[in-house]
Structure 1
Amino acid sequence: MQERRASLRDVARSAGVSPQTASRVANGEPNVAPVVRERVLVAMKELQYRPNAAARAIRRGAFRTVGVVYHSLHSVGTHRSLEEISECAAAAGYATTLMPLSAPSVDAANGAFTRLGEMAVDVLIIIQPQPFGIDDGLHLPIGLPTVMLGPPTMDGVASIEFDHGAGAREAVEHLLDLGHATVHHIRGPVGAYSADSRSAQWAAVLREHGRPVPEVQQGDWSPASGYDAMRRILEAGEQPTAVFAANDQMALGAYRAIREAGLRIPEDVSVVGYDDIDEAAMFDPPLTTVIQDWALLGREAVALALEMERGGRPETVTLDTRLVVRQSAARPGAAAA
């Protein structure tokens, strides 16, 4: 038979103290005399006592665990956000339970919520995939404070999102201010909130300035899709002078297509991306792009989730973006500065 694990009562008996005193030592409470604390710690070591975390969690009604639902780690934003969420949760004394979705669908999300409920988490953070398909069929765990990294979707659920429209506006206006007659656009997947917002703002800015709105080219966030989209733009007839790619990976693909066509960046074609990935400053030339602070997104998500756990109300938070000007954009026909 398996040997019975030592209990806190066994520790108390061995140390010659009350179970309440042994409990205070086990929980790190300060109101215990040093000599008594040392005696209890020695007994714990001799008996190989290990706290029963599940039982303690049930007693206090909390598991000190943050649950995170996400679809894919391939996204730069998801990867960076998860890193920060895990670090901030740990700093607050919480573990992190990750639950990947098998598909970006309501059924997959509901299954993930059920499994997280069985694992017992205190708060839930959802990194919204594309397209998430949030509707009446989505069944969030009842009574569980929930933060969505994405646009506001449901009553009672907090949300944190970047101001994608403002970032796109700054990118397009930067190119127009340089003197480009119009700006071509390589967009992200249809149905992705970030892609839809950036694309809508690109077109709105051009119309506000009375500029032609070229046919938008579809991408899927990958460098390969940026390459294909840029080739379609170049093969359409009139040579573009400026391109706004909805993320830096697609901008990288556009770089290759432009160079293969015998054109120079930015002398012949200016390129602006979005995200400011780590490699953006290493592009040749360094890429002008819109920065999103993914670490801040993760920190804000954990802070908001834990505040809701303490009784705070769900909030809608919008984070600022900022254009980082490098050498990939210049006046039409001009050499890089």
Structure 2
Amino acid sequence: MKPSIFDVANKSGLSVVTVSRVLNGSGNVRERNRLRVLAAMKELDYRPNAAAQSLAKGKTGVIGLLISTLQDSVFDAIVKEVHDELAEHGYFLALSVSPSDREPGSSFLMEKDRVDGIIVLSPTWEDTLVPELQQKEIPYVIIDNQNPAYDKSAIEVGHYSGGYAAGQHLVELGHTSIAHLSGPAAYKSTIDRMNGFLKALADSGLDPLFIEEGPYSMETGYNAAKRWINEDRLPEAVFCGDDYIAVGVLNALQEAGLSVPRHLSLVGYDDQNLATLFRPMLTTVAQPVLPIARSAVKALLAQLEGKPSPEPVVLQPELIVRQSTALSQSFSKESPL
């Protein structure tokens, strides 16, 4: 049978109240008594209950993370890194999946007595969520916020520079007929990626061949590319709002007997796991997963410890050049059939 706090009290010859004060780090304990308690704990191999300690301090020891989907390898990687970072600081991570069409308040985690703080990953319902967190006095950090009004509470990624890098890469390859398949305009990151791409083209005196918007899905890329092929208006290059859209484009071209990058240079965004599973491997813009997670945890812990919040930083993505882009000189619209 595991020793209890009463066993420690008996062994040390002190009261349960004194033992409890030592366990909770209270300064109102004589040093000789503290040493007697610690010696008794060591002799009995007594290990205090972490949950009980947290409750005694008015803390849960739990950080919540709200996320809209688990079917995204970038989100998965961020969740894992957040978990590992929190574990190093003695916190547990509780995960809640709340699709964008569900009220955030329906989450079990949205109560102060259940979590010490909340990290929110890429929400579309900030205008409902943030006032509720503030009203309940729950510390929070947002990763990839949509509303600029919440920038001070957010961990931002430089999606504008990511879009610029993608457009600049295609221009430097000599392409002049370049299209963009964007994600939903409801996301601030979607608009930033598109604006960065447009600026890269404008800096070279180019306009996009066309821009089309759709969900972040393979179907978006597949349906668009199939239509372009049927209408004989396939561009030389396409920058896609994410890797799923890009893979959809790739599938449509291969189905039509065309190849990437011979008939079209293709750039995705996010560097999902699937970016290296297809052939050719996808040129894409990688999100800085580890810095995102570490920055979010650091900012939230600063709030919990009453320290000044770290200065907001914009984390920069990185262009990863693989096999799906090529110089325009090797480009050919002629079908191999």
User: Do they superpose with TM above 0.5?
Assistant: yes
Which secondary structure does the structure 1 equivalent of 2:65 belong to? Answer: strand
- 1:94 aligned residue: 91
Which secondary structure does the structure 2 equivalent of 1:117 belong to? Answer: coil
- 2:78 aligned residue: 81
Farther off after superposition, 252-261 or 165-174: 252-261
Map Cα deviations across residues 35-89 of structure 1 (whole Å, 9 max, x no partner).
97464456576xxx863724x3343233322121122111233211111111110
CA distance, structure 1, for counterparts of residue 18 and residue 94 of structure 2: 32
- 1:72 aligned residue: 69
Amino acid paired to 1:229: A
Q: Do the aligned partners of 2:165 and 2:200 also contact (CA within 8 Å) in 1?
A: no
Instruction: Please tell me whether residue 139 in structure 1 is matched to residue 132 in structure 2.
Output: yes
Map Cα deviations across residues 109-160 of structure 1 (whole Å, 9 max, x no partner).
1333x7431543222211123x325269842144332111123544695101
Q: Do the aligned partners of 1:147 and 1:157 also contact (CA within 8 Å) in 2?
A: no
Q: CA RMSD in A?
A: 3.3
CA distance, structure 1, for counterparts of residue 218 and residue 151 of structure 2: 38
CA distance, structure 2, for counterparts of residue 133 and residue 37 of structure 1: 47
Which secondary structure does the structure 2 equivalent of 1:13 belong to? Answer: helix
Instruction: Please tell me whether residue 300 in structure 1 is matched to residue 295 in structure 2.
Output: yes
Picking from 300, 317, 325, the partner of 1:329 is: 325
**Cα distance, 1:22 vs. partner?**
3.7
- 1:125 aligned residue: 119
**Cα distance, 1:305 vs. partner?**
0.6
- 1:196 aligned residue: 191
Farther off after superposition, 219-228 or 32-41: 32-41
CA distance, structure 1, for counterparts of residue 61 and residue 201 of structure 2: 49
CA distance, structure 2, for counterparts of residue 43 and residue 272 of structure 1: 62
Instruction: Please tell me whether residue 53 in structure 1 is matched to residue 46 in structure 2.
Output: no
Which secondary structure does the structure 1 equivalent of 2:263 belong to? Answer: coil
CA distance, structure 2, for counterparts of residue 115 and residue 331 of structure 1: 51
Instruction: Please tell me whether residue 171 in structure 1 is matched to residue 166 in structure 2.
Output: yes
- 2:9 aligned residue: 12
CA distance, structure 1, for counterparts of residue 327 and residue 151 of structure 2: 48
TM-aligned CA distance change 1:104 to 1:116, over 3 Å: same
Q: Do the aligned partners of 1:81 and 1:298 also contact (CA within 8 Å) in 2?
A: yes
| TM-score, normalising length: structure 1 | 0.83
- 1:231 aligned residue: 226
> Which runs of 5 or more residues in structure 1 are unaligned?
none
TM-aligned CA distance change 1:109 to 1:315, over 3 Å: farther
**Cα distance, 1:93 vs. partner?**
0.6
**Cα distance, 1:11 vs. partner?**
3.7
CA distance, structure 2, for counterparts of residue 36 and residue 191 of structure 1: 58
TM-aligned CA distance change 1:122 to 1:253, over 3 Å: same
- Paired residues, number: 324
**Cα distance, 1:90 vs. partner?**
0.5
Identity within the alignment, %: 29
**Cα distance, 1:164 vs. partner?**
0.7
**Cα distance, 1:21 vs. partner?**
6.1
Map Cα deviations across residues 193-246 of structure 1 (whole Å, 9 max, x no partner).
222221233234334433232232333222232211221232333331111111
**Cα distance, 1:33 vs. partner?**
8.9
Instruction: Please tell me whether residue 186 in structure 1 is matched to residue 184 in structure 2.
Output: no
Which secondary structure does the structure 2 equivalent of 1:68 belong to? Answer: strand
Which secondary structure does the structure 1 equivalent of 2:80 belong to? Answer: helix
Which secondary structure does the structure 2 equivalent of 1:297 belong to? Answer: helix
Which secondary structure does the structure 1 equivalent of 2:125 belong to? Answer: coil
- 1:317 aligned residue: 313
Q: Do the aligned partners of 2:267 and 2:324 also contact (CA within 8 Å) in 1?
A: yes
CA distance, structure 2, for counterparts of residue 136 and residue 64 of structure 1: 22
Q: Do the aligned partners of 1:71 and 1:127 also contact (CA within 8 Å) in 2?
A: yes
Q: Do the aligned partners of 1:167 and 1:290 also contact (CA within 8 Å) in 2?
A: yes
Map Cα deviations across residues 164-211 of structure 1 (whole Å, 9 max, x no partner).
111111111111111111311111123122222212332343344332
Amino acid paired to 1:248: D
CA distance, structure 2, for counterparts of residue 287 and residue 109 of structure 1: 35
Q: Do the aligned partners of 2:67 and 2:122 also contact (CA within 8 Å) in 1?
A: yes
> Which runs of 5 or more residues in structure 2 are unaligned?
332-337
Counterparts of residues 29-48 of structure 1 (less than 5 Å): 37=38, 39-40=40-41, 43=44
- 2:143 aligned residue: 149
Instruction: Please tell me whether residue 260 in structure 1 is matched to residue 255 in structure 2.
Output: yes
